Amino acid sequence: MEKRLFLILLLILSITGGCKKEHPFIKKVAFKGESAIEVHFAGPVDLKWAKDKGNFELYEKPDPDILIPIKDVELSENRLILMIQAYDELNRNQEHIFTLKNIVSDGRDLGTAIVSVKKLYFGIVFNILIAAMLIQNFVFTKYLGLCVFFGTSRRKSTAIGMGITFTIVIVFASMMSWFLYQFVLKPFNLRFLQIIVFIGLVSLSVQAVDTILRKINPALFKAFGVYLVLVIANCIILAVPLILADNEYNAIESFMLAFGAGLGFLIALFLMSSVRERLELANVPPTYRGLPIAFVVAGLFALAFMGFSGMSLF
Amino acid sequence: MPRRRKSNKELFLNGIFNENPIFRLALSMCPAVGISTTLMNGFLLGIAVLFVQVFSSCTISLIKDYIHPRIRIPTYTLTIATWVTVIDMVLAAYMPAAYKQMGIFVKLIVAFAIITMRLEMFACKNDFVPSFWDGLGMGLGFMFGMMSLGFVRELLGMGKLFGHDILGFRPLLFFVLPAAGFFCVGIIMAVFNYVEIVYKRIRERRWKRGYS
């Protein structure tokens, strides 16, 4: 079993890994920092060729008409590594196409190379997960699902139960709606029906999880069944399918976004409930008792979560 | 015991003050925190919610006799979703800039608890005209809440109203930050609570005086 899992992992990595190289002279192309691309050559290239900015063209794969202006080209001492500096920050989640015209090495013309630069696919997917969980936390930075958030964050046990139930349901529901959007709504040009279809699908999947859980694991159902009704009232569960439809994510990315959204909600609920359990012992002014103080605490959390903005792990 | 039927005016005012959806019932908080940064945003989302609330209240009150009680909640949801699709497409076509700023919230009107609650509690039991007034009052109450939040945040954060410079300086830039939405809602709720506490105290004093 473990061996098979390992093989599958290897397969995925080998399919998705790394940057493509189409030219035998280029060994490696990768992003360097926020706004640069690094090219490794197999042999030393000529300095004169490298200094001519007209030899390089860079654009994002979806729009080949918009060339990204190149600010500076640097060649390393041993003339093996070329660094292209762009004026603006490069969108590293997007695949870039980089053209090197007529590479000259020791006076010989080696022809034009067109290479694509992209991040490791694993990196992109992991970034989506982290972004949904922390950087773009649905509760504290997108302000969604607040009704349920304030309703179920009074006790730690309730918060954990709600968080786990929500994660299961949202993964289930958004995978189903992704499937329906990609294979039914898009081919038949029915995109304007997405709101109606998604809300129906969400209620259906909540009902399905309810039925399945009741049959398979009655003990678990007893613990978590109460929260299933509340899940429908949460806007995050509708927001995630809409975001998936807008961004045209594929299956793995969709799974990661949904999972991250669920985990982010769990984290937010847990943090909030820990504070609110303490607050019950505190001496709060009578006008602020109950929801108002909870809102102020949530505001402090939101300020803290702003610290995550701009974070990028890969 | 048959309850006294409220007049249309009472129904209308009920939504705005006594049962204000944002500050009194604490429902549909997400847009109140998320996009109340300017008065204009609050106004536009208020209009959208008003439209959806009034039209779905009217629809449900017209077809209430044909709905089987078992499937009433899905019916409500689908009715709301239909009207949200309408307003979504209208806004996207005629106000693309504002629509972009409001982002996903227009589509999420479907999930606002306040609309479903009004349908369940009022429109499915009453006739067309009272449902219309109830929906109008609730929608206006929501709009009032959103606009008062937008008013506070835009005035204190940017010194502007509807994009026009009023104060000439920025008193508290903090209020423009998205996170300040939480503080703002919390503080306004506390003000509502304070008014209620003072009101109760005055009434108690008056009652004691009458007793002695």
Q: In this predicted model, what pLDDT tens digit does every residue of A141-165 receive, in sequence order?
A: 888 888 788 888 888 888 888 888 8
pLDDT reported for residue B5: 62
Does A114 score more than 50 pLDDT? Answer: yes
pLDDT reported for residue B4: 57
pLDDT reported for residue A273: 92
Q: In this predicted model, what pLDDT tens digit does every residue of A160-204 receive, in sequence order?
A: 888 888 898 899 889 989 999 989 888 888 888 888 888 888 888
pLDDT, averaged across chain B = 81
pLDDT reported for residue A158: 82
Question: Are B27 and A147 in contact (CB < 8 Å)?
Answer: yes
pLDDT reported for residue A235: 82
CA distance B182 to B180: 5
Q: For residue A207, what pLDDT band results from cuts at 50, 70 and 90? A: confident
- Give residue for tokens 């940064």: B37
Does A247 score more than 50 pLDDT? Answer: yes
Lookup: tokens for A6 = 């390992």
Does B92 score more than 60 pLDDT? Answer: yes
In this predicted model, which residue has the larger pLDDT, A257 or A145?
A: A257
Contact A73, A83 (CB under 8 A): yes
Q: For residue A12, what pLDDT band results from cuts at 50, 70 and 90? A: low
Give the ipTM.
Answer: 0.81
What mean pLDDT do residues B95-104 have? 82
Q: In this predicted model, what pLDDT tens digit does every residue of A20-55 receive, in sequence order?
A: 446 777 777 777 777 788 888 877 887 777 777 777
Question: Are B186 and A296 in contact (CB < 8 Å)?
Answer: yes
Residues with Cβ within 8 Å of A243's Cβ and at least 6 positions away in sequence, in order, are A257, B104
How many beta-carbon contacts under 8 Å exist across A and B?
A: 111
Q: For residue B2, what pLDDT band results from cuts at 50, 70 and 90? A: very low
Residue from B193, B198, B199, B201 whose CB has the most chain A CBs within 10 Å, to mutate: B193
As a whole number of angstroms, the longest Cα–Cα distance in chain B is: 67
Q: Which residues of B touch A (CB under 8 A)?
A: 26-30, 33-34, 74, 77-78, 81-82, 84-85, 88-89, 104, 107-108, 110-113, 177-183, 185-187, 189-191, 193-194, 197
> Do the domain assignments include residue B49?
yes
pLDDT reported for residue A65: 76
Q: In this predicted model, what pLDDT tens digit does every residue of A119-139 receive, in sequence order?
A: 777 777 888 888 888 888 888
Give B-chain residues touching A293 at CB under 8 angstroms: 186
Q: Which residue of B has its CA nearest to A237?
A: B111
Q: How many domains does chain B have?
A: 1
Give B-chain residues touching A244 at CB under 8 angstroms: none
Give B-chain residues touching A206 at CB under 8 angstroms: none
> Do the domain assignments include residue B3?
no
pLDDT reported for residue B159: 76
Question: Are A203 and B81 in contact (CB < 8 Å)?
Answer: no
What mean pLDDT do residues B50-67 have? 87
pLDDT reported for residue B1: 36
Q: For residue A18, what pLDDT band results from cuts at 50, 70 and 90? A: very low
pLDDT reported for residue A217: 80
**Full residue range of the structural domain in which residue B24 is found:** 8-211
Question: Are A291 and B26 in contact (CB < 8 Å)?
Answer: yes
Give A-chain residues touching B187 at CB under 8 angstroms: 292, 296
Interface of A with B in 88-147 (CB under 8 A): 140-147
Give A-chain residues touching B117 at CB under 8 angstroms: none
Question: Residue B84 is nearest to which of A145, A195, A303, comparing CB atoms?
Answer: A195
Q: In this predicted model, what pLDDT tens digit does every residue of B4-19 receive, in sequence order?
A: 566 777 777 776 767 7
In this predicted model, which residue has the larger pLDDT, B127 or A62?
A: B127
Q: For residue B72, what pLDDT band results from cuts at 50, 70 and 90? A: confident
In this predicted model, which residue has the larger pLDDT, A293 or A76?
A: A293
State the angle between helix axes of B128-158 and B180-211 in degrees (0 to 180), rounded to the nearest 10. Answer: 120
> Do the domain assignments include residue B75?
yes
> Do the domain assignments include residue B55?
yes
Contact A128, A240 (CB under 8 A): no
CA distance B199 to A54: 77
pLDDT reported for residue A10: 58
Residues with Cβ within 8 Å of A147's Cβ and at least 6 positions away in sequence, in order, are A233, A234, A235, B26, B27, B28, B29, B30, B113
pLDDT, averaged across chain A = 81
> Do the domain assignments include residue B1?
no
Task: Tell me how close the Cα of B62 comes to any Cα of chain A, in angstroms.
Answer: 21
Q: In this predicted model, what pLDDT tens digit does every residue of A284-304 receive, in sequence order?
A: 888 888 888 888 899 999 888
> Do the domain assignments include residue B2?
no
- Residue among B157, B48, B49, B143 nearest B94 (CA): B48
Question: Are A299 and B110 in contact (CB < 8 Å)?
Answer: no
> Do the domain assignments include residue B74?
yes
Task: Tell me how close the Cα of B199 comes to any Cα of chain A, in angstroms.
Answer: 13
What mean pLDDT do residues A214-222 have? 82
Residue from A191, A199, A202 whose CB has the most chain B CBs within 10 Å, to mutate: A199
Interface of A with B in 255-314 (CB under 8 A): 286-296, 298-299, 302-303, 306
Does A263 score more than 90 pLDDT? Answer: yes
> Do the domain assignments include residue B181?
yes
Does A14 score more than 60 pLDDT? Answer: no
Instruction: Give one DSSP letter per residue of A175-194, joined into a string.
Output: HHHHHHIIIIITTTT-GGGH
Question: Are B78 and A293 in contact (CB < 8 Å)?
Answer: no
Spell out the domains of chain A, with CATH numbers in brackets: 19-119 (2.60.40.1220), 122-306 (no CATH)
pLDDT reported for residue B149: 85
Helices then strands, counting H and E runs in chain A, come out as 10, 9
CA distance B105 to B48: 10
* pTM reported for the whole predicted model: 0.76
